[in-house]
Structure 1
Amino acid sequence: MSVRRVVSDDEVARAGCRFFLRHGTVDMERLAAEMCVSRATMYRVTGGRDRLLGEVLWRLAEQTLADARRQRTRAGVDGAIEVTHRFTAALLSAEPFRRFLAGEPEAAARILLTSAGGLTERVVAAQHEIFQEVGLTDAGPDLAYLYVRIIESALYGELVAGHPADLDMAQRAARALLTAC
């Protein structure tokens, strides 16, 4: 009789984060083997690779974003831009993340820029919170969505348009958006 190992979504996500930091990806078969569960169990628990990668990327980004928020020294529009600058600089210098973007551009675009990974909603909500923290109380969720999309268009320029990230341009556009409101 074989014993079936039960794992939670949280356990898989934590293991997925460790795997991603080592490899710059998540290989469901290898991760399942590391966790001593079947690949079928891995998919059943996570709902699929895109969902797991979205969760992994969010958990890692959330830590980086929290650091950027703690390090913020300004308020208002300057504070929002400062958090964005710190976050995007850390993200672009993260080797596992760069390997993921370069090694799996189609998966990265799908997970980062569509609803497949469940990231957009979380990032927009976090950006809305940042607006509130820096005193931009009139900046609602719709403005947060536009702001995030401006930053993403530059941050993921290679995926979207085949050109390198131009975060200075994106930050100027984001500043224009925030000061126009």
Structure 2
Amino acid sequence: MRRARFDHDKCQWRTVLGVNGRRVVSDDEVTRAGCHFFLRHGTVDMDRLAATMCVSRATLYRVTHGRDRLLGEVLWRLADRTLADARRRRTRTGVDGALEITHRFTGRLLAAEPFRRFIAAEPEAAARVLLTYAGGLTDRMVTAQQEIFTEVGLDGASADLAYLYVRIIESALYAELVAGRPADLGVAQRAARTLLLAAC
């Protein structure tokens, strides 16, 4: 059985039929297509994405288990790339190193036009996916933050500390969704520094 593949030259999906003549796509392929769609449109429209991939809407939902889950996968994949770049560019260690990565990551995220469009156009979906279990993003960020603490030399940092740190940053990063106010990352980073200095 062969699967659909993305033709980067033509910027479209070339669908290959499976053994029963059905179009077959994997979860990873749908996520990659969703990333391309999100970067162009600042959202994921399931009908249009299905048409782009030459699969039915039912197939798309069967593979993704719903739009919220797909949005979570798409946002995590894009965020993970940005976070990886911030980690590579780190120049400091300890508390300053952790905060440097956070500063680079959140700055890039807030500057990303597709991400801003998504939050502005779909605040309820954005809050659900970004801040609740539906999107699965917080758990992934907490795991990544624990790894960052180890990278910068904060070896004693616990999972609970990583969770609190992430929630402090999220409270400012998504302040528009949580409290209807603009993001104030300066306040969040000062609070995060106080937390780390007290705990490490």
Q: TM-score range by the shorter chain?
A: over 0.9
Q: How does 1:99-114 map to 2 (within 5 A)?
A: 99-114=117-132
| Percent identity for Structure 1 against Structure 2 | 79
Tell me what 1:26 maps to. Answer: 44
Structure 1: gaps (5+ residues):
none
Indicate the SS of the match to 2:134: helix
TM-score, scaled relative to structure 2: 0.89
Q: Post-superposition shift, 1:33?
A: 0.3
How many residues are treated as equivalent by the alignment?
A: 180
The answer for unaligned runs of 5 or more in structure 2 is 1-19
Query: In structure 1, the residue corresponding to 2:147 is in which secondary structure?
Result: helix
Q: CA deviation at 1:3?
A: 3.1
Q: CA deviation at 1:26?
A: 0.2
Structure 1 residue runs of 4 or more that deviate by more than 3 Å after TM superposition: none
SS for the counterpart of 1:139 is coil
Kindly name which structure, 1 or 2, has the bigger radius of gyration based on alpha carbons. Answer: 2
Deviation by residue 1:113-160 (Cα, 9 ceiling, x = unmatched): 001011111010000100000000111111000000000000000000
The structure whose residues are more often helix, as a share, is 1
Structure 1 residues 19-53: Cα deviation after superposition (integer angstroms, max 9, x where no partner): 00000000001000000000000000001000000
Alignment partner, residue 115 of structure 2:
97
Deviation sequence 1:39-94 (CA, Å, 0-9, x none): 00000000100000000000000000000000000000000000000000000000
> Which residue of the other structure, out of 85, 88, 104, is the alignment partner of 1:67?
85
Q: Is residue 17 from structure 1 mapped to residue 44 from structure 2 by the alignment? A: no
Which of 170, 173, 181 lines up with 1:152 in the alignment? Answer: 170
Query: What's the TM-score once normalised by structure 1's chain length?
Result: 0.98
CA RMSD of aligned residues (A): 0.8
Structure 1 equivalent of residue 146 of structure 2: 128
Larger RCO, structures 1/2 (Cα 8 Å, 6+ apart): 1
- Work out the CA distance in 2 between the residues paired with 1:3 and 1:108: 37
